[in-house]
Amino acid sequence: MTQRLHLVFGGELTDPSKNVFRDTSEIDLVGMFPDYATAYDAWKNAAQKTVDNAHMRYFIAHIHRLRDEEQAGSPTEELGD
């Protein structure tokens, strides 16, 4: 079964019209979620807590899109097999 992992994170931006974080050491890692619906709920909850700060933004990263499931894994990925 293929997992469709999603990472929810956010932080304060330097400018609300750009996606550049003011301080990357202050990024809020909300968590990793097994599907988009769960990630969306977490994103919405985190975003609503900071609605009064126009510079705060939360994002959903589609981690599963970073992998090509058709290619063989790296030797470190195959440990344990």
What's the rounded Cα separation, in Å, for the pair 26 and 16? 17
**Short-list 14, 42, 18, CA closest to 28:** 42
* CA-closest candidate to residue 18, choices 62, 59, 60, 55: 55
SS3 17: coil
In a domain, 58, yes or no: yes
- Per residue in 20-50, pLDDT (tens digit) is 999 999 999 999 999 999 999 999 999 999 9
CATH of the domain at 10: 3.30.70.2400
Domain of 44 in residue numbering reads as 6-66
Report how many domains make up the chain: 1
- Flag whether 21 is in a domain: yes
Pairwise CA distance, residues 40 & 16, whole Å:
21
Report the predicted TM-score, pTM, of the whole model to 2 decimal places.
Answer: 0.77
